Amino acid sequence: MKLIRFRHASQIHTGVLNDRGVVAVAEINARLGTKIPNDLLSIIQQDASSQLTGIDEVPAIPLVEIIPLVPYDTPPKIWCIGLNYRSHADDIQAVQPEEPASFMKPASCMFQPETDIVLPPADVSDDVDAEGELGVIVGRTCRFVPAENVKDVIFGYTTTLDLTALDVLRKNPRYLTRAKSIDTFFSFGPVVVTADEIPDVDLLEVITEHNHSICSRDFVRNMRTRPFELVRYHSDFMTLHPGDLISTGCPKGARIRAGDRVRARVDGVGTLSATVRQGTREPKF
């Protein structure tokens, strides 16, 4: 099942994406008498996706009439994995770590799909890359998950764009969180695919496109630490909650400038695109 959050006729909805368009949860509830939450994070938290059945006769909204949004504005946690492909480590002349190079990002750095990545003023950063990645969405509260049970705690998968201020990072690797947390330096979605739709995650190909050309591509099976192990590993350190997101790394990032177009693509999961524009120093109080 493919789920999406979107704007239609000035209202925000959650719905099921199919070959007819998008079937809104509100319409499903009205037609079928269900009480499914009209909020994707709540659907994940309440394990309500199994109720989204029997919707073949429920009218769909054409895709051209909707504006896709991030699946939810404030993920409980956003974990990202650095240097998970050797090609990415080589690209930025870094040593690939033995353990997952994980770091967290704030929800304040997110942008909406199909909108703008706003580059910071040059004195903040003048060397930014954009990285298309596969995102894993946790579906159950869990801790110390055995390897054989990881499938049971994954809700689904999505596409992410993770950005880095490379010049900030070069100053000192301890500045990683700062280099990753600038406004508009992350997005995910707009589609979330439930785990049952992906029979073998290792076969997924992760692609970053830059100005309509492929910048990098590689298969999940070539990650140093693959998605199931990332979930298991992080559950050793903290309780994971429904809606937590792990962005699993990029083969190689695309250096971006104002006027560029960048897109993350994971066939079978979805695409996530943005244009790039230059921001200015505008004080806000």
Confidence band of 93 (pLDDT split at 50, 70, 90): low
Domain assignment present for residue 133? The answer is yes
- Tokens 């994995």 correspond to 81
Q: Please report which confidence band the pLDDT of residue 83 belongs to, taking 50, 70 and 90 as the band edges.
A: confident
Question: Which residue, 274, 250, 280, is CA-closest to 185?
Answer: 274
| 80 DSSP β-pair partners | 103, 247
Nearest-angstrom CA–CA distance, 249 and 226 = 10
The Cα 254–Cα 214 span in angstroms is 9
Q: Is residue 126 domain-shared with residue 61, that is, in the same domain?
A: no
Considering the domain boundaries, does residue 58 fall inside one?
Answer: yes
- Asked if residue 258 is part of any domain, the answer here is yes
**Quick check: is 196 in a domain?**
yes
Q: What is the pLDDT of residues 145-200, one digit of tens each?
A: 999 999 999 999 999 999 999 999 999 989 999 999 999 999 999 999 999 999 99
Strands 245-247 and 78-82: parallel
Least confident interval from 87-101, 174-188, 252-266: 87-101
Q: Per the structure, how many domains does the chain have?
A: 2
Residues 197 and 260 in one domain: yes
- Per-residue pLDDT, 94: 66
Stretch 119-147: mean pLDDT: 97
Asked which of 93-97, 131-135, 201-205 is least confident by mean pLDDT, the reply is: 93-97
The residue segments making up the domain with residue 119 are 78-278
Cβ 200 vs Cβ 183: under 8 Å:
no
Q: Which of 212, 214, 216, 217 is nearest to 261 (CA)?
A: 212
